[in-house]
Structure 1
Amino acid sequence: MTLEKLRPITATYVESIAKRAISAGLTPNYVSIISLIFSALAGIAFYYSLEVAIYALVAVIFVSLNSFFDALDGSMARYQGIASRKGDFLDHVIDRYADMFIIGGIFFGGHVDWEIGVIALVGVLLTSYLGTQAQALGIGRFYGGLMGRADRLVLIMIAAIAYVIYAQPLAGYTILGWCVVVLAFTSHITAFQRIYSVWNKL
């Protein structure tokens, strides 16, 4: 079960804020760019968190804001009746850059060996690609599998908070580093789950 299934529950709350954002003159594309900026700031904070552990908590705030604005742009577009393929394309591109900023900030910052970080990032990008590829094949956007994007971000935020509490390495890696190790495994497991599921629906 992934946290993506909770989207309908949070939709009403996000929609109410979307209406206010539209009234304030914001556009969905502008909000998408804001979410990207927050992901970049999260990556920077993670990069420096090995030296100053409290920066990981700052990163959690930025990751939360990235997630919120990522949900907000789509809600705004649907409310205004201007949801488009261009907007959907931009949203997916920004999400992938956000993944690279956040995960890259952790392993480039030294929390884990960069080779493991690359394996994790490839798995994350492949998982996301398979979800959108299912949509391209007419099956519909596919969020299934062990580790969806929402699960991934929640896991990173929990690991970051735990790292602030205990910043010492455990068997060579920090808690954030071990989080990337987990992502390296679970993202590829998720990718294979999606390959299997999509293949059976074709």
Structure 2
Amino acid sequence: MGGAPSFHGISMVNITKYRDRLIHCIDPVARLFAKIGLTPNQLTFISLMFGITSALLYVLQHTYLAAGMLLLSGLFDFIDGGVARINGKTSAFGAAIDWIIDKYVDCLVLIGIAFSGLADPRIAAIAIFGSMINTFIKPVTYAEMGFEKKENGKIKDPLEGVGIFGRPETAITLIVLSLLNQVYWAVVIIAIMTNFSAIERVVYLYRHMRGRGKT
């Protein structure tokens, strides 16, 4: 597919929009892991293990430890991209599996909270739905409308900055409110804001991509 459409007029941003700036802040840590010899995929796997541990700790209602494990999961997820860039080992598989692992962690943690009794399982289900659909919009857009630009092995597009509440905001909300013993409200916020962000993306696509397709 050629002649990929351009995106303009983004009105709202999220933390992901600044990922490229932030990733350079962890370069010293990424270089350390690169020197040790850990590959980006190994770091992604470590991120998954911390995410699973976080989910299990939420089930057991150890919220402080769960928040700590979720923070470590996010940090390793962030570092893997830096290692890939430093080593020049970006790959289509690595980019895809990183995306998949991210959603596994998000969903497992919310499922763990639902089983823990710390939040209403019905609200947790809405939060999971919002998290998934907010992400699902992007691959649908790439497949149906076309977008090929990549940086460091990952698709790079302004849709990253559309929607006020993305994956980083979800993790930060869970971590901070878990430390404040307010897991219930964290899930409520995630349920509302992820779905709101999904609507933002749909509205954006309607306004800017209506009538356009792959060329």
- Counterpart selection for 1:78 from 74, 79, 85: 85
Q: Which residue is equivalent to 2:53? A: 41
Distance 1:12 1:73 in 2: 12
Alpha carbons 1:19, 1:79 under 8 Å: kept? yes
Counterpart of 1:160 in structure 2: which amino acid? S
- Counterpart selection for 1:157 from 156, 172, 175: 175
Alpha carbons 1:103, 1:121 under 8 Å: kept? yes
Counterpart of 2:101 in structure 1: which amino acid? I
Q: Which residue is equivalent to 2:195? A: 188
Counterpart of 2:83 in structure 1: which amino acid? M
Alpha carbons 2:34, 2:86 under 8 Å: kept? no
Distance 1:199 1:70 in 2: 32
Indicate the SS of the match to 1:88. helix
Residue 116 (str. 1) matches residue 123 (str. 2): yes
Structure 1 residue ranges (4+ consecutive) displaced by more than 6 angstroms after TM superposition: none
Unaligned runs of 5+ in 1: 50-54, 164-174
Indicate the SS of the match to 1:147. coil
Q: How do 1:24-63 and structure 2 match up within 5 A?
A: 24-49=36-61, 55-63=62-70
Unaligned runs of 5+ in 2: 1-12, 148-155, 210-215
Distance 2:142 2:91 in 1: 15
CA shift, 1:154, in A, is 0.6
- Counterpart selection for 2:146 from 138, 148, 151: 138
Q: Which residue is equivalent to 1:4? A: 16
Structure 1 stretch 27-36 or stretch 77-86: which is displaced more?
77-86
Residue 147 (str. 1) matches residue 154 (str. 2): no
Q: Which digits, 9 at most, give the CA deviation of each residue in 1:36-91, with x for residues without a partner? A: 00000111111111xxxxx2111111111111110111111122222111111000
Q: Which digits, 9 at most, give the CA deviation of each residue in 1:175-199, with x for residues without a partner? A: 2112211211111111010111123
- Counterpart selection for 1:13 from 21, 25, 28: 25
Residue identity (%): 26
The number of residue pairs the alignment matches comes to 186
Q: Which residue is equivalent to 1:171? A: none
1:160–1:128 Cα change, 3 Å: same
CA shift, 1:119, in A, is 1.1
Distance 2:109 2:41 in 1: 21
Alpha carbons 1:107, 1:177 under 8 Å: kept? no
CA shift, 1:118, in A, is 0.8
Counterpart of 2:15 in structure 1: which amino acid? L
Q: Which residue is equivalent to 1:65? A: 72
Q: Which residue is equivalent to 1:201? A: 208
Structure 1 stretch 119-128 or stretch 14-23: which is displaced more?
14-23
Q: Which residue is equivalent to 2:153? A: none
Give TM-score, length-normalised by structure 2: 0.81
Counterpart of 1:104 in structure 2: which amino acid? I
Alpha carbons 1:38, 1:63 under 8 Å: kept? yes
Counterpart of 1:132 in structure 2: which amino acid? P
CA shift, 1:133, in A, is 3.2
